[in-house]
Structure 1
Amino acid sequence: MSTTNLNISVIEKRMFKETEAASYAGLPVKHFKIACPVQPIQLRQGVLLWDKRDLDLWIDDVKTGTQATTHDAILARL
């Protein structure tokens, strides 16, 4: 009997497009746009991306009831 090893390396994304960020937060895009205070960044012209770490901080704040309302408040916690 032969054995086969399969080595798979998965690189976890840190930056999300809007639809990915909304999905990560568990919200439809239209609700994400209204509810999420995390500001996207533009790494290249015309492409807005949301940082997973900022989204995690926002979600943690919502869970604890100390929701940060601005990007600056989130950055201050980093």
Structure 2
Amino acid sequence: MASATLNLSVVEKRMLSALEAANYCGMAAKHFKALCPVNPIELRPGEIRWDKRDLDSWIDGCKQGAEETSREAILGKLG
């Protein structure tokens, strides 16, 4: 019996459309457009894209802010 090997290479997209960026962030498109502070880039006239790295930085910043708020709330209760 013959065996076959399939070698695939997947290139992950870095620049996302508005709908892809909203999905990447786990939001509905209308909420993404209203809440996301990340500025898109116009690669070509009329072609607007969001950089995944910028979206990741925004999401990480949201998490850091939540941690600081939680820590302050805990310290406030102790004091």
TM-score (norm 2): 0.80
- TM-fit CA distance, 1:54: 0.1
Q: How many residues align?
A: 66
**1:2-41 alignment runs, 5 A limit:** 2-41=2-41
CA distance in 2: counterparts of 1:29 and 1:65, whole angstroms: 23
Q: Which amino acid aligns with 2:8?
A: I
Q: Which runs of 5+ in 1 are unaligned?
A: 67-78
- Aligned-pair identity in percent equals 58
2:46, 2:39 → 1: CA distance?
Answer: 15
Report the Cα distance in structure 1 between the residues aligned to 2:39 and 2:45, rounded to whole angstroms. Answer: 16
* RMSD (Å) for aligned C-alpha atoms: 1.1
- Normalised to the residue count of structure 1, the TM-score between the two structures is 0.81
User: Structure 1 residue 21: deviation in Å?
Assistant: 0.2
Moved over 4 A (4+): none
Q: Which has the higher helix share?
A: 2
Aligned-partner SS, 1:42: strand
Larger radius of gyration: 2
The Cα of 1:45 is off from its aligned counterpart by: 0.4
